[in-house]
Amino acid sequence: MSNISAGIKNNLNINLTHNLNFWNNDTIQFESDDVSDQLISFMQEQAKGVIQGWLDNKSLMQCFYIHQLLPETERNTFFSHMPARFVSDMEKIEVENHPVISVISTTPQLSFTGDMCVGDAIAKIHETSEAFDNKVAFIVDEQGCYRAVLPIHQLLNHSETILLADIAETIGACHACTDREKAVAMLQHSDMDCLPVVDLWGRPVGALSAKEAMVVMQQEQTQDVEMLMGIQADDNDAPYMQTSVLAHVKKRIFWIVGLAGVGILSGMVIQSYEDAITALTILALYMPMVADTGGNAGSQASTVIVRSMALGELKLKNWCEVLWKELRISLFIGLGLACISFIKVYFLSHGVELPNGLTLSMLGSAIALALFFQVVTATVIGAALPLIAKVFGQDPAVVASPAITTIVDVTGLLIYFYVTSLILLN
């Protein structure tokens, strides 16, 4: 191997180690493009044996990092050079949109065997780099497979002769390709503030800490809020002030244009009941109240269900209980709003001239009944849509609030005009 090749590899090792700290969620941020350029040149210019020899000493975390550095055109070549022990892991990681390995700390992890004593473990920590700041170490077996977690502070609470196996804590681990949101949910139900991450062989890769989990949850909540409001979420979102006007337009216009088309149905419903409005113009006064109330009720139900599903409180198997519960909730809310709307119509429309045979009580009752049915149907629809999305393998949050509002507007107008026409004009 030439001195030039050795120099390039050494420089890459230094830069890769340094830049492992520059991770930003799904996208790796670098101080410059030097590392990427050097890596591409190295992969293109060096012999296969040289590249394989260099990669053979890398960890799964470093291989993943190198994979992210390379452009799409070079990744197939990288796979052919990668150590065979990482191929299966990387194939699984590559097909996952948000693998947990992309958010866990890149700080090297310490591993001990269970038959080591506390004194030996402390000595090994002293021998490591001064930059060691991990709160836990891994207990592994003879093959290097994960067995338990050892909180570092426990070393200070026991005598030097105690075996590590006796003070370690056994907690479940997740694979490096596990979706980051699922990994956070696993951490939430864990007894510790970190979650071990392992490869397909069961060997430790790293650990998801509580701090990293908070960052993931913040990203997921942001995406869910954007989806609920009909905004196309982007995995690489920049801060609001750094996002261009056209980028904002691109994210928002899809739902707005689509729902504007669906909104034409509302106009068609109104047009089909034009005779009813002409005969009883006061119906137009309360039409926005019924439509808006239904939209609010549907959005409330949808938001509650999406949140509960995201927190793992609801499963698809609970769909019957969910709809039954939301139906009961909607009956109480609808009854209360119906009473309020009757009183509102009675006083707001007092003195309004009505066609012969109609009374203010009849008008109030018709609008109250229409509002009651609107609230009930809107709530059930709002609760059912996220569950339906989940059945078809979609994110429940994509059932955006504007979509629910538009759907409920159409159904609400149908209910409103049908009920009022049936009671007042027949």
Q: Which residue has the tokens 């990482």?
A: 86
* pLDDT score recorded for residue 175: 92
Torsion of CA 367, 368, 373, 375, to 10 degrees: 110
- What distance in Å separates the CA atoms of residue 366 and residue 316, rounded to the nearest whole number? 37
Q: Which residue has the tokens 């990427």?
A: 36
- What distance in Å separates the CA atoms of residue 373 and residue 367, rounded to the nearest whole number? 10
pLDDT averaged over every residue in the chain: 78
* pLDDT score recorded for residue 259: 61
- What distance in Å separates the CA atoms of residue 216 and residue 231, rounded to the nearest whole number? 19
b vs e for 60-81, b when ≥16 Cβ sit within 10 Å of the residue's Cβ?
Answer: bbbbbbbbebbeeeeeeebeeb
Q: Is residue 353 pLDDT above 90, yes or no?
A: no
* pLDDT score recorded for residue 49: 77
Higher pLDDT, 425 or 214: 214
Instruction: Tell me the two tokens of residue 182.
Output: 């699922």
Highest mean pLDDT: which of 34-43, 133-142, 161-170? 161-170
Give the type of residue at 107.
T
* pLDDT score recorded for residue 130: 54
Mean pLDDT of 383-388: 87
Pairing between β-strand 174-175 and β-strand 146-151 as defined by DSSP bridges: unpaired
Q: Which residues have a Cβ under 8 Å from the Cβ of 76 and sit 6 or more positions away?
A: none
Pairing between β-strand 194-198 and β-strand 204-209 as defined by DSSP bridges: antiparallel
* pLDDT score recorded for residue 397: 66
**Residue 404 binned pLDDT confidence (cut-offs 50, 70, 90):** confident
- What distance in Å separates the CA atoms of residue 162 and residue 206, rounded to the nearest whole number? 25
Pairing between β-strand 23-24 and β-strand 111-113 as defined by DSSP bridges: unpaired
Q: Which residue has the tokens 């701090």?
A: 211
* pLDDT score recorded for residue 27: 36
> Residue 136 forms beta bridges with which residues?
151
φ, ψ for residue 89, nearest 5 deg: -60, -45
- What distance in Å separates the CA atoms of residue 270 and residue 417, rounded to the nearest whole number? 8
CB 44, CB 71: distance < 8 Å: no
Instruction: Express each pLDDT in 218-248 by its tens digit.
Output: 777 666 666 655 555 555 556 656 667 777 6
- What distance in Å separates the CA atoms of residue 281 and residue 222, rounded to the nearest whole number? 44
* pLDDT score recorded for residue 156: 85
Higher pLDDT, 322 or 251: 322
Higher pLDDT, 3 or 65: 65
Instruction: Express each pLDDT in 297-318 by its tens digit.
Output: 888 888 888 878 877 788 888 8
Q: Is residue 165 pLDDT above 50, yes or no?
A: yes
Q: Give SS3 for 174.
A: strand
146-155, 178-187, 370-379, 396-405, range with the lowest pLDDT = 396-405
**Residue 336 binned pLDDT confidence (cut-offs 50, 70, 90):** very high
Higher pLDDT, 30 or 64: 64
b vs e for 152-165, b when ≥16 Cβ sit within 10 Å of the residue's Cβ?
Answer: bebbeeeeeebbbb
Instruction: Tell me the two tokens of residue 271.
Output: 């047009």
**Residue 325 binned pLDDT confidence (cut-offs 50, 70, 90):** very high
Instruction: Tell me the two tokens of residue 205.
Output: 């890769």
Pairing between β-strand 136-140 and β-strand 111-113 as defined by DSSP bridges: parallel
* pLDDT score recorded for residue 2: 42
CB 305, CB 322: distance < 8 Å: yes
* pLDDT score recorded for residue 329: 93
- What distance in Å separates the CA atoms of residue 75 and residue 318, rounded to the nearest whole number? 43
- What distance in Å separates the CA atoms of residue 82 and residue 76, rounded to the nearest whole number? 10
* pLDDT score recorded for residue 26: 35
Instruction: Express each pLDDT in 1-58 by its tens digit.
Output: 344 344 444 545 544 544 444 333 333 333 445 667 777 777 777 777 777 788 887 8
CB 358, CB 367: distance < 8 Å: no
3-state secondary structure 232-295: CCCCCCCCHHHCCHHHHHHHHHHHHHHHHHHHHHHHHHHHHCHHHHHHCCCHHHHHHHHHHHHH
- In total, the chain counts a number of residues equal to 426
Instruction: Express each pLDDT in 91-113 by its tens digit.
Output: 888 888 889 898 887 777 788 98
Q: Give SS3 for 179.
A: strand
- What distance in Å separates the CA atoms of residue 39 and residue 81, rounded to the nearest whole number? 13
